[in-house]
Amino acid sequence: MTDIEPGELEAPVSTLNNAFADRPISLTAPGGIDRAAHHRLDEAWLAAAWSHPSTRVFVVSGGQVLIDDRPDGTTELVMTPAFEAPMTETHRYFLGTDADGVSYFALQKDSLPGRMDQSARPAGLREAGLLLSPRDAGLMTHAVALENWQRLHRFCSRCGERTVIAAAGHIRRCPVCGAEHYPRTDPAVIMLVTDDQDRALLGRQVHWPEGRFSTLAGFVEPGESIEQAVVREVFEEAGVTIGEVSYVASQPWPFPSSLMLGFFARATSPEIEVDGEEIHEARWFSREDLEAGFASGEVLPPYGISIASRLIELWYGKPLPKPGDVV
């Protein structure tokens, strides 16, 4: 938030100057985990950490983990000591340590373990990310991102040979040509565009239901800066030209391997011409327009873990209604 200087973007900055603006964006809050990357190649250290009684382990499978809704209303990532963990046909990822010296591992398996005797249930990151603590959400995000990368990069991109996992899940090595492959992250930009009347440009994607509006977004292309990507994507999708661009915050988005880079952007032309391919409809909304749209049901609030909701909230000046809320 501190990357925005007062005056750069007058209206959004005014909404940043309140306590609400300090609320962390889901999936970006500090989780208290030190990734301790220097241990990843130290097999003796990893073996000792794995066998330590305080170590905690969870299974990730197909982007899902087991979560447990506690009687006190909180939700936890289900973790066990290593000696209880199912190790057959498993890949092991070292995720880091916490301030108490507890080590955390994820096991990638073909299916989640059965937990019929408890209240645990499987959940993907879109659901669990809203429920888990920052620590647990961060551990899950790390594990899901590694699993997606491992699943999609089993062969050497240099020679085509099957690669093997190394560095506790963070490298794949080619046994033939010696190439080392590292987890990849694909940058994508997501932006809240405002005009000279401080209205927000929100679009509806082709496959979204009627009334669902959110920020525009798109992938950064080769040889392009992220600011250039903001300008290009807004013009391609909505025909609106952009002047000033200000970075706000980023968010890991492992679906399967993106990093969302959030921006505020100022339009220099108000005319809208949607591309009809990705964006079916785009409109300028004043805060009053949006509030009235929520109240009448004409506009469906974006809701979820995405940074899109937070970008809109920062401009809107208060939390967006959740589905089912009486506005």
CA-only gyration radius of the chain, Å: 22
Taking the complex as a whole, how short is the minimal distance between the CB of residue 178 and Zn ion, in angstroms? 7
Binding to Zn ion (CB under 5 A): which residues in 179-198?
179
CB-wise, 47 or 176, nearer to Zn ion? 176
Q: How far is the CB of 310 from Zn ion (least distance, A)?
A: 41
What whole-number distance in Å separates Cα of residue 159 and Cα of residue 111? 31
Residues in the chain: 327
Q: Which one, 143 or 156, has the nearer CB to Zn ion?
A: 156
Helices 287-296 and 307-316: angle between axes, nearest 10 degrees: 120
Residues 28-87 that bind Zn ion (CB under 5 A): none
Residue 98 and residue 33 in contact, taking contact as beta carbons nearer than 8 Å:
yes
Stretch of residues binding Zn ion (CB under 5 A), selected from 58-66, 127-135, 139-147, 176-184: 176-184
Which residue, 128 or 156, is less far from Zn ion as judged by CB?
Answer: 156
| Angle value at C-alpha 215, between 212 and 219, nearest 5 degrees | 120
CB of 176 to Zn ion, least distance (A): 5
Within residues 137-166, the interface with Zn ion by CB under 5 A covers 156, 158-159, 161
261 has which bridge partners?
189, 250
Question: How far is it, in rounded angstroms, from Cα 89 to Cα 112?
Answer: 13
- The nearer residue to Zn ion, 141 or 163, going by C-beta atoms, is 163
CA distance 244 to 265: 6
**Min separation Cβ 179 and Zn ion, Å:** 5
174 lies in the binding site for Zn ion (CB under 5 A) = yes
Query: Which uninterrupted H or E stretch holds 290?
Result: helix 287-296
Q: Using CB under 5 A, count the residues that bind Zn ion.
A: 8
Least distance CB 166 / Zn ion (angstroms): 13
Query: Which tokens in the block code for residue 233?
Result: 């994507």
Which residue lies nearer to Zn ion by CB, 48 or 177?
Answer: 177
- Please state the closest distance from residue 20 (CB atom) to Zn ion, in A: 51
